[in-house]
Amino acid sequence: MSIGAAEEIVDLLVIGAGPTGLACAIEAQRTGFTAMLVDKGCLCNSLFHYPAHMTFFTTPELLEIGGMPFSSPNQKPNRNEALEYYRKVAEYYKLDVRQYEKVERVDGSDGNFVVHTMDQFGRILKHRARKLVIATGYYDLPNYLGIPGEDLVKVKHYYHEPHPFYGLDVVVIGGKNSAAIAALDLWRHGAKVTLVHRGAAMHRHVKYWILPDINNRVKNGEITAYFDSTVTNISEDEVTLSTPSGVVTIANQFVFALTGYHPDFSFIEQLGVKLDETNDRCPMCDPATLESNVPGIYLAGVIVAGERTNEIFIENGRFHGQQIAEALRGKLVAA
C-alpha cells in the first residue's frame, strides 16, 4: 500500500489494541467479519507501560479472551506473563494489528468511515471501515496536579522500575495501588521515599497483600508519609507540602505523581459522541449493543464508564467484544 492511499474497506476497525480491543476484533472475526486494529503504541501498550514486576489482582482465567486458556504457574499472573499471553492470542487469530499508528481524525459515516492515522515517521495513512470500535482505555492521560514545577523533567506520572532512583530522595504522590506499589519497590531498592496523600490514610481498596506492607513501612518510619497533605510546589531540588502541621519543604530529586488517569474525552467528542455531564461524563451508548449516539461507532472497555475508571477492567471489559459482534451480526449481514 502506498502511503496515504486508503485500503480496501474492512467490516470493523478497532482503535486501541489492548485486551479489550483484541477481544473486539477476535469476536468480530469469529462472527465472520473482517477486522483491523490500530494503536498509537505497541500491542497492549498500557500493559507494557505498567511497572516491570507488576502482579495482577485477579487470576489468569479472568484475563482470558477469545476462548484461549491463560496458563500460569502463579495464582496471580504478572505483567510479563500477560504480555506473552496476549501476543500469542494475536498470533493465533492472525489479527491485523497496525502498531505505532496514531489516529489523527475520522471522516465519513456509518458504512464508510475513513480513519486517518500517522505513523512514527510522520507519514499519513488511511484505513476504511464499515464500523468502528473505540477501545482506547485511559492509561495514556494522567490526572495532572496543576501546580508549579509539575512540568520539570524530574516529575513522572508513570512508574516502571526502581534501579535509577537508588540512594535518591523520591516523593510518591497518591494513596492507591500504584502509589503503594511504587513506594514499596523504591524503598526496597534503596531510594529514600516520602509518600504524600491527600487522604487520612491509604485507600481502602489497596490490594490486601500490599496494604499491611505499606502501612507497616510507614509505622516503622522506613517510608515517611504525610497524610491529609498535598504537594503545592516542585522545584529542582525541593518539594513543598501543605500539611496539617503547616508548610513543609523537603529535599527532593524525583517525583512520581501517581494520581490516576482519565479517558481521552476530547477524542471521543471529536467523533461526535456525546458525554453525559451529569453522570461522570459517561459517553452515550446503548448498554445492550454498546453503539454510541453516532451510528456505526461502538465503545468498549473502560471508556464506557466515563470518569468512573474503577468500574471496568480487563475482567469485565473483555466481554464487550461479544456484545458488539452480536450487534454487527444483525446490521452488517442485513446491509
Which residue ranges does the chain devote to CATH 3.50.50.60?
10-141+261-334, 155-257
DSSP 136-170: --STTSB-----TTTTSTTEES----SGGGTTSEE
pLDDT of residue 309: 82
pLDDT of residue 6: 56
Measured between alpha carbons, how far is 195 from 183 in angstroms, rounded to an integer? Answer: 7
From residue 58, alpha-carbon distances to 76, 79, 213, 263 in Å are 6, 12, 19, 23
Ranges of residues in the chain whose predicted pLDDT is under 50: 1-3
Which fold does the domain 155-257 belong to in CATH?
FAD/NAD(P)-binding domain (3.50.50)
Measured between alpha carbons, how far is 297 from 327 in angstroms, rounded to an integer? Answer: 12
pLDDT of residue 4: 52
Closest by CA to 181, choosing from 172, 192, 191, is 172
DSSP designation for 195: E
pLDDT of residue 230: 98
pLDDT of residue 285: 96
pLDDT of residue 122: 97
pLDDT of residue 10: 97
Which fold does the domain 10-141+261-334 belong to in CATH?
FAD/NAD(P)-binding domain (3.50.50)
**Is residue 253 a contact partner of residue 170, using CB atoms and an 8 Å limit?**
yes
pLDDT of residue 1: 39
| CA within 13 Å, CB half, 21 | 31
pLDDT of residue 2: 41
**Is residue 242 a contact partner of residue 229, using CB atoms and an 8 Å limit?**
yes
User: pTM here?
Assistant: 0.90
